[in-house]
Amino acid sequence: MDLTPASLARYFDDKFAASPDPWRYRYSWYEARKRALLLASLPREHYRSGFEPACAIGALSADLACRCDHLLCGDFSPRAVEAAQARLASLTNVRVQTLTMPIDWPAGQFDLIVVSEFAYYLDAGDCTTLAMLAASSLAADGTLACCHWRHGGETWMLQSAEVHGIFARAASNALLHEVARIEDADFLLDVWSRDPLSVARRERA
């Protein structure tokens, strides 16, 4: 598989052309449960500015929007962007843009970045760049979440354990603190924060 951005965009466009919801984001209990666990693992109730790259049709974005004053979502598949824009049109605090990761990483800082179910489509070099950009773009009280399916996919994809190892190294280099790690039978979920205090300790401070 050619892992250039244009080829990957065509790969995903073909998926969305064959089905408006190829991974059953809207109807799968697995997807709903995973989203609930991810959302529950975020250490802060509310965030000022969130970023979700590779948002697909915006299923997780709709939930993240309830936790953010402003949320930027991006995807490099034109069909996915169109679907996400339609799904999120009523949410005035959300922007959906055509963004190719990691080359179109947005400027500025975010206090929430969620990388879910797409970093393993990149090669190791681009995944490392993505992880470094995410870790370095967190605000002083920022949260970084990373979540990926454990059972593989296409033969050319990275394994989820490799992806999370890359993100763990970037988080450590950026002096982030581990908030949560879930090794579910079906997915890996890691959450890091710049704030060293746990949720309970923060409430007592």
* Beta strand ranges found along 58-137 (DSSP E): 68-75, 94-98, 110-116
Q: Has this prediction a pTM greater than 0.85?
A: yes
Tell me the CA distances in angstroms from 81 to 58, 69, 76, 115, 189, one per residue in order: 9, 21, 7, 16, 25
Whether the predicted pLDDT of 3 surpasses 70: no
Strands 177-183 and 187-193: antiparallel
What pLDDT is attached to residue 174?
97
Name the token pair of 72.
Answer: 């930027």
User: What distance in Å separates the CA atoms of residue 9 and residue 3, rounded to the nearest whole number?
Assistant: 10
What pLDDT is attached to residue 183?
97
Task: 168-172: list long-range contacts, CB under 8 Å, 24+ apart.
Answer: 169/131, 170/128, 170/131, 170/132, 170/134, 170/135, 171/131, 171/135, 171/144
Domains of the chain by range and CATH?
A: 5-204 (3.40.50.150)
Whether the predicted pLDDT of 121 surpasses 80: yes
pLDDT level of residue 1 (50, 70, 90 thresholds)? low
Of the ranges 117-121, 162-166, 199-203, which is most confident?
162-166
For the ranges 11-15, 41-45, 144-148, 156-160, which has the lowest average pLDDT? 11-15
pLDDT level of residue 12 (50, 70, 90 thresholds)? confident
Tens of pLDDT, residue by residue over 100-109, are: 999 999 999 9
- Is it true that the peptide bond before 196 is cis, omega within 30 degrees of 0? no
User: What is the percent of the chain with per-residue pLDDT over 70, rounded to a whole number?
Assistant: 96
What pLDDT is attached to residue 204?
83
User: What is the percent of the chain with per-residue pLDDT over 90, rounded to a whole number?
Assistant: 75
What pLDDT is attached to residue 154?
74
Question: Cβ–Cβ contacts within 10 Å for residue 168, how many?
Answer: 17
Name the token pair of 153.
Answer: 């996919």
Find out whether 178 and 190 touch, Cβ atoms under 8 Å.
Answer: yes
Mean pLDDT, the chain, whole residue set: 92
pLDDT higher at 24 or 130: 130
Task: Identify the CA nearest to 64 among candidates 141, 122, 143.
Answer: 143
Average pLDDT score over residue span 23-51: 93
Q: How far apart are the first and last CA of the chain?
A: 51
Tokens 């979920």, residue located:
189
User: What distance in Å separates the CA atoms of residue 179 and residue 144, rounded to the nearest whole number?
Assistant: 9
Tens of pLDDT, residue by residue over 137-181, are: 999 999 999 999 999 777 778 999 999 999 999 999 999 999 999
